[in-house]
Structure formats: structure tokens, C-alpha cells
Amino acid sequence: MSNKKNTDTLSDNLSETSDERLEQDIVVRVVLSVPVRKIFDYIVPATLVLPCPGCRVRVGFGSRIMTGLVIEVSNSSRLDIKKLKAVRAVLDSEPVLDSKMLQLLCWVADYYIHPLGEVVFSALPKLLREGKSAKLPDRPFWVITALGMEALKQGPGRAAIQHRLLEMFSEAEMPQGSEACKAVSRAWKKAIEVIEGKGLIERAEPPATERVASLPALSTTPDQQQAIDSITASLGRFKCFLLHGITGSGKTEVYLRCIRAVLERNQQALILVPEISLTPQLVDRFRQRFEVVIDVLHSGMNDTQRMRAWARARCGSSAVLIGTRSAVFVPLARPGIIILDEEHDSSFKQQDGFRYHARDVAIKRASMEGIPVVMGSATPSLESWHNANQNRFGLLRLEQRATAGGLPEIHLLDIEKQPLENGISIPLRDGVRQGLERGEQSLLFVNRRGFAPAVCCTSCNTLVQCTRCDARMTWHKKAGRLLCHHCGKSSQWPEHCSDCGGGEMVTLGQGTENIQQTIQQMVPGASIERIDRDSTRRKGELERRLKRAHNGEADVLVGTQMLSKGHDFPNLSLVGILDSDQLLFSSDFRASERLFQLITQVAGRAGRADKQGTVLVQTRFPDSPWLQAIAQHDYKAFARMALKERKSADYPPYTHIALLRAEATKQQEALKFLEAMHCKARSLIVSSAAMRPVNLSEPVPSVMEKRAGRYRAQLLVQAASRKPLHDFLYQWRGEIESDRSARRVRWSLDVDPVDLY
């Protein structure tokens, strides 16, 4: 059965009485987390409770016992019922996924042409995928009783821990749980058992709030109020909005006001952010504003934490869920609005396995739920901007900053005419020093972690390469290792050149470690905070460093893209962008868009309070029209140029594309496979008039052909409209799956890819 057929039959639930079940066999159609586009029929023994669609079951699959999810209940099968295996156990008394979520997942599987079973199970928490109970143990909360208050007056005696716990409960304004007890003593569990057994404390309902502090709503600008009015007027029906607000224009305040209106309707809000680094500050602002339960969901949480957040959203006990891309699949009891912050960010696209785009899934989900979806960005994706200009999205503009400071002044520094010291120009160095004298912060952005991106032989100029990738090794001075940032290979500093045997090796270029060291030497008294993936690996380290930055304890911030968006540093007045030219001449058709987005987002960290911000962009190409548009804060001019370029090259949003990727251990095998699939594709197109609008490119090696010891290649497919492309992809995937050569390579079909390399 195809995924489309699944969508049509999800509502065909059978309600059989136990007597009727004795007279006929009941068949359930089950999806499993296996890489095949099939749904499997199982018979339900009369001894088991009949599972509903959306319930999990335990079934035999080959020699394995697996957890499956019921998609449909029927009284017939296309197969011989006598040969069907029986369901071994029904794991849920009620569906873990309701009919709307199942319909969404079926649509997603169809759209991305991915096995439905893998799609469904990727939407579930790991504990549910493993067959664990959908009901988590209750976390107990307690309050002190009158008897406990009397016991307090008698003093601690020999039971000091019990007394301290009673003191804690007596001083608390709301019920307290295990975290509060743990803060009193590590030996709290036994003491709690004793005082609860004596009736000194009693169980209570969990507190209905996770409020940290109380912050009043900020005043709004006319643009903000117009956006709020437009969005709140659409509550209760589907409408897609693009909120284009310059950096510092108060997009978050618009979100907060709209969520307030949703909460007043007793509904829930789902907020999607591209990265974990954006969640701490956003969560703090939400918790300071709303007296509701707010949950967070991201990859930095353990399985139990993720399961708890998922379950609370599903049953409706949490009112706001903030998460990264996978949160788009979390069921909500009373959905009211979906918000995507930094909607342009490529992190919303899953880049391996099930390759979905959370932005597009969110739009479809909002359509199915009949609720508005709001996508905010200072630098919208060109696809979203084009959709807004075509009136497919409502366009809301915030064209002035919400604070007293205006947009930062952006200066393009021609470093061909500037002496550099370890990548830092004299104007940038002086700007940091002057900011320090005024008690203001500076941010130095370099999108390379480590100390140096290359190590070179002084005799023959050979660069140290990764043996498993077509990439240079990066020197990490603090770790004392050379690392490949693509496959993770690690090695020691080379004693001699592998090509000529020369003994002197030197570093080239600058990474965040190098810049941190250099600026410390230039400004010896400055407190410097480096924020990148290396410095924030330990749990809680990102939050700690960001807190220091927000509190003004760090004079200079040095970092990568983790610092480029969403953060509000009120005392930061200077931003230095050290190497802006990496994307100017990239082979990726999205390079200019990413350049504009990256520099604009980083520049937007400057002057967000009442200080005038300054941005110094170091470049060798100050006359580039892309950089000129950035310096003028002119997104519209940039979009006109970029869309014109896209149209002439037949790239999105004027065409729809898909990419067949392949990789193999032998250099020519991936290309050979793609060439065979190219022939099959041409035959399909020739045989059907409906598919003739589809265009095929020749198979080519990927830009980085060798990665992690495997050779990669790709084949691009394009069409001016989506229907012929998808009709072609459905049939083509079947041809690929049935081909023997597909077993000798790793291959994937990527619909709407964000990267073509």
C-alpha cells in the first residue's frame, strides 16, 4: 500500500465488538522502523485488546521482535490471512499519535519519498521507539501539613536532614519536588519517606507554573503592533506569515504578544529555533513573561527529559514548547500557533537519513490544524521572500529597531591595503581598545574553530591533508592535535613533511583559538570569552558562557556562528568580521544568500540597546555588489539581484529540485551507479509525456568527493512545477530500489536540498 493510500484510509477505524471478533479475523496494518516502503499486515488474536490506529504493538519481523505502530485496522488482507503472523502484544491503551499527526506523517513520507515506518518512528521519542511505556512515572510533589508545622517547633533533635526538609517545605510558596529536596541533602529520599510516613508532609499536585520572575510587556512600535494585530486576528484559522524584521526590531516581543493571545484561548504554542544555542535566552524571556508550564526539546537533553517534554505537550499540561527542528513532530493537545524563529536557517533541514525541512513541515502542519504559522527573520530565505511577494504568505515588516539605538554602521575594510596581525587589522584592534576604555563589549567573528585551518611545509608548501577526506587538517593548539572537521580523524603534529621530508611545519590562517590568543596579547587587560563548538562541549558550558556575555562580564567575545543570531548583548557596540570572503566565490548557488544572512545576523548583535553599533567587515573585495548591499542594510536590493540570478540559472524558487546522492568505498562505483540510474531516469521521462518537463543533469562527483573514506557523487533533477517532479521521483525511486547495483552503494534521495555539494 502506498503512503498516499494510508492518508486516505486513516479515518476508516473499525469498532468491532468482542463477539464480532470471534467471527472474523481482525488485521492491523503496521509500520516498522525499517528502510523499505512497505506496510505489514498482522492478525490480532482475540486474546488481545484491539489496538487503534496510532497505538504501538510488538510484532515478529523475520527473526527479530520489533515495535511497530498501527496505521489501519481492517477485516481483510491482500495476503492469505492464514499466513499472517500474530501481534504479540499491544503496548498502548490509547494512541500515542492521533489521526492528524498520522495524516501529517503520511504526507511527509509522500513528499520526501521516504519509508513511512522510518518517518513515523523518527517522530517518536527514543523511549517509545524502544517499546517503553508512554506513561512516565509521576514526579511527586509535597507540601507541609499542620502536623509538620508543629514538628518544626520542636527543633531538629537528631533528625537534622528531616528538619531541614521541613524548613524548606514551610518556606516554599508552592509544592516542592525532588530537585528542591536534592538541594537540601543527597540523603533526601530516606528522610522524605520518614516524614511522609509520619504525616508531616503530604502529596500535592505539581505547581501550575514554572515562572522565574515577572517582566512586564514592553511597549510596541507601530510596526510591531500592526504585526501583532494581523497575526492575532488569524487565530483559529490557517494563515502563513513572513515576519521580516531588521535585527533588533523586536520580533521576539511580537511572538510573546501573539502567544499571550493564544494562551488566553487555552491553546498551546510551538516555537521552533534552529540551534540549541538560541534556546537559553529565549526560554528565560518566555518564563519571565508567562505563568505557564514551558518545556524545551533539543538534542542536548537525555532520553527521559525528551520523553517528559513530549508527553507533557501531548497531554496538554505544558502550554509552550520551544524546540529545534524535530519538535515540529511533537503532538499538541490544543495547538494554537506555530512560530519559526530565524526561518532562513539551514539547520531546519535534516541533512542525513530522513531529509525533511522543519519549515515546510510546520507550514503543512499548521494548514492541517487550521492555525497560523509565523516565520521570522531579518534575512528571509529567498523562497519565503518570493512566496510573500507572490501573496502566498502574508508579509509583515518591522523596519525600525525597537530600542533607541539605530542600525549599526557597517564599514568594509579593504585588507589588501591594511596590514594584518594574525588576521586582525589596525582599525579593528583600535576599535576593541576604545570600546574597552568606554566599558563596552566587542565581538570578533571568525567562522573557523581551532587554532589554524591549515598546516604547511615551509620547503615544498604541501598542506597536511586528511587521509580519509578531501580536506585539510585543522590545528587545535589547546588539544595539541590535528583534527579533520569532516570525519573527526585526529593526529599529532607532524615531525616532518610527508612529501619532501622537510622538518619545518607552520600554521596558516586563523581560527577562534588563534584570534582569542592574539586579541589577548593586543588588549592584555581584557576578559575574553570564546564561544564555539569546542569550548561548549561540556553540559551547561554554553549557558554559563552566554550568561557571562549577557551580564557584561566578558569584554571581548570570540566565536563562530553560535554567536551570530538570536542573542541580545546590550553592552556590545563593536562587531568585527574577520574573513567575509569565504562564500563570495563558492560553487553553491545559495552562497550569496548565506553570505548576506551570515554577515547581517552577526552585524545585528551590535548596538541593540542605546549605544550606536559599529561593524568592521574585513574583505579583499569591498566593491562586491553583495557586500555593498550588506553595508547599506538593503535586503530588498540583495533579494532583487539574487532572485534575478536564480531565475536565469533555473534554480529555486523558480524551479523545484531533488538530488540523488551516492557514496561508495571505491572511487568510480558511486558515479557508475548514478550513470545507470541516469539511464533509467531518461527512459522514464521519454516514456511519459507527463514527466517530460523534468530535466536531468549529468552525474558528477561531489565538491568534496572523498569524505570519511568514502567517495561521493550526485545527480541533480529539476522541474518548473512540483507535480511532474514528484510523479517522476515516485517511479524513479521504485526503479532504484529494484536495481541490484543499489545494494553496493549508499544512496539517498533528497527532495528540496539546501546544499548542492
Write down the pLDDT at residue 24: 61
CB 323 within 8 A of CB 274: no
Of 64, 65, 84, 73, the C-alpha closest to 28 is 73
Task: Give the integer Cα–Cα distance in Å for 678 and 699.
Answer: 8
Enumerate the β-bridge partners of residue 244: 377, 397
- CA nearest 170: which of 155, 190, 152, 186? 152
What number of residues does the chain have?
757
Q: What is the pLDDT of residue 16?
A: 34
Neighbours of 238 (CB within 10 A): 15
Domain 656-751 -> CATH class: alpha beta
- pLDDT, residue 663, reads 96
Q: Which of 338, 334, 315, 336 is nearest to 325 (CA)?
A: 338
| Helices vs. strands in the chain: H and E counts, helices first | 23, 32
Q: What is the pLDDT of residue 216?
A: 61
pLDDT, position 41: 96
Cα 57 to Cα 350, 466, 677, distances in angstroms: 28, 46, 37
CATH for 409-452+509-645? 3.40.50.300
Q: Which three cell numbers stand for residue 302?
A: 537525555
Residues 6+ apart with CB under 8 A from 482: 455, 464, 473, 474, 475, 476, 490, 491, 492, 493, 494
Do 639 and 382 form a contact (C-beta atoms < 8 A)? yes
Which residues, at least 6 apart from 30, have a Cβ–Cβ distance to it below 8 Å? 39, 40, 41, 42, 57, 59, 68, 69, 70, 71, 87
pLDDT digits (tens, 9 = 90+) for 380-410: 999 999 999 999 999 999 988 876 667 899 9
Task: Report residue 260 as a C-alpha cell.
Answer: 499571550
In whole angstroms, give the CA distance from residue 752 to residue 362. Answer: 15
CATH number of 3-129: 3.40.1440.60
> How far apart are the C-alpha atoms of 97 and 105, rounded to whole Å?
10
Which run of H or of E encompasses 671? helix 669-687
Q: Which residues of the chain have pLDDT under 70?
A: 1-24, 137, 207-217, 278, 403-405, 566, 609
Same fold? 222-277+294-301+320-398, 409-452+509-645: yes
Site of grid cell 505544558: 318
Which residue ranges make up each domain of the chain?
Answer: 3-129, 141-204, 222-277+294-301+320-398, 409-452+509-645, 656-751
Q: What CATH number was assigned to the domain covering residues 222-277+294-301+320-398?
A: 3.40.50.300
